[in-house]
Chain A
Amino acid sequence: MTARLHERVRRMRERALIRAWEYRQRAYSKGVWFRLRRVLVDAERAFSIPEGDADQLESEGQQPLAVGHELSPAKRIFFVRREQLLKLDAVELPVRLTAPLLQATSVVLVAHGSNDLEGELGSGSAPGA
């Protein structure tokens, strides 16, 4: 009578073991999606930009976020202020892990309420990145 319940418990314990393994591996490739999502959590909007614009941002001292280098092919991801965004040839993307964002090789993000955070965002590093 309780065979199904026991089977569900067995599957849940199996998933718990996998989760524990994923947690132990979080600093390695297994944690990349967590880190990428974490960066996106802080972004109100996301845009794809041409390589030349990404080069320009780097030449101005803007450092791409570390998580972009963990992806293959690598992606340059920057947080920018709204006024910086106006100078870029930016195409808006949905802020979620969908094909347009994953296919873009250079991405700029605008933080929530970035007008209020101009001084805090600094050079391309976002909280938790």
Chain B
Amino acid sequence: MEFRTRLLETLRAVRSVLNEPGVLVGGSEVPNLLEIDARSSLVVSEDVDIVVPVDSHDGVKRALQSVVGFQQSAEEPSVWLPQRPELIEVNFIGMDSGPRAGETYVFEDAALPLLVFGNLCLLRPGKPVHVEDLVIPVPRPAGLLAEKLLTDRSGDKGDRDLLVVMGLLLVSEPADLDELVTLYQSLPPDQRYSIRSNLGILSLLEPRSQMPDPVPHRARLAKLMARFERADAT
């Protein structure tokens, strides 16, 4: 079964969760969903991140009661493992836009504890993706680009995550890049440095199978770097 089918089947299975206010599909599947007809040509990992605002946690727990086809992982209780081959793993991750925005912490809960990632507070709801019978909430590209460029990364997984940034850039509009630069300007200097550092690493990455090749787009990455530097100078 092709990856796109499994991704969409998984999102169909958790549709009740996706209907909760503020919930977003995040991570590496977003560029797949933003491709024409959610073509899903990138295979970074065979799982999907569901971003849960801590304010919507109760609603998500209630919605999960109607979800079938998954078993909660005993070791990682925020991970739901597929019980059918046509599904992929679902990772529930927390987002806090309230007083603890920017902080990484564990949201304790007996049924659905969450790892709240500080950088996810950069995400804002974007235009939902309509594909087949699904309406899939996704973040605006700018916030996701910033979040991905800020995430600590190392090794092959880190490189593949950066290539997801390339995939996102390829489906971004000029207005998304304007928004990214504005968002960049709002960040503290150490985070801006991390973004420029990771953008530099991305520009020099080797092509990987089933991933966007940065080589033909290196001039575009250089222009984005220059825009960040100009933003720093103003």
A interface residues (Cβ-Cβ under 8 A, vs B): 1-2, 4-6, 8-9, 12-13, 15-16, 19-20, 23, 26, 34, 37-38, 40-42, 44, 95-97, 112-113, 127-128
Contacts of A16 in B (CB 8 A): 104, 152
Nearest CB on A from B50, distance (A)? 16
Known: A13-B104, A41-B204. A1 touches B222 (CB 8 A): no
B152 touches A5 (CB 8 A): no
Nearest chain B residue, comparing its CB with the CB of A15: B152
Contacts of B28 in A (CB 8 A): none
Q: Among the listed B106, B206, B218, which residue makes an inter-chain contact with A9, where contact means beta carbons less than 8 Å apart? A: B106
Nearest CB on B from A2, distance (A)? 5
Contacts of B178 in A (CB 8 A): none
Contacts of B78 in A (CB 8 A): 5
Residues 14-49 of B contacting A (Cβ, < 8 Å): none
B interface residues (Cβ-Cβ under 8 A, vs A): 75-78, 104-106, 108, 110, 113-115, 152, 189-190, 193-194, 196-197, 199-201, 203-206, 218-219, 221-222, 225-226, 229
Nearest chain B residue, comparing its CB with the CB of A1: B77
Q: Among the listed A4, A12, A19, A41, which residue makes an inter-chain contact with B200, where contact means beta carbons less than 8 Å apart? A: A41
Contacts of A41 in B (CB 8 A): 199-200, 203-204, 218, 221-222, 225
A5 touches B106 (CB 8 A): yes
Nearest chain A residue, comparing its CB with the CB of B151: A12
CA of A95 to CA of B206, assembled, Å: 9
Give the interface SS of chain A, mostly helix, strand, loop or mixed. Answer: helix
Known: A4-B76, A95-B218. 14 other contacts (CB 8 A): A5-B76, A5-B113, A23-B189, A23-B190, A23-B194, A34-B200, A38-B196, A38-B200, A41-B204, A41-B221, A41-B225, A96-B204, A127-B226, A128-B226
Nearest chain A residue, comparing its CB with the CB of B197: A34
Q: Among the listed A2, A20, A26, which residue makes an inter-chain contact with B106, where contact means beta carbons less than 8 Å apart? A: A2
A1 touches B200 (CB 8 A): no
Nearest CB on A from B126, distance (A)? 26
Nearest CB on A from B234, distance (A)? 16
Nearest CB on B from A41, distance (A)? 5
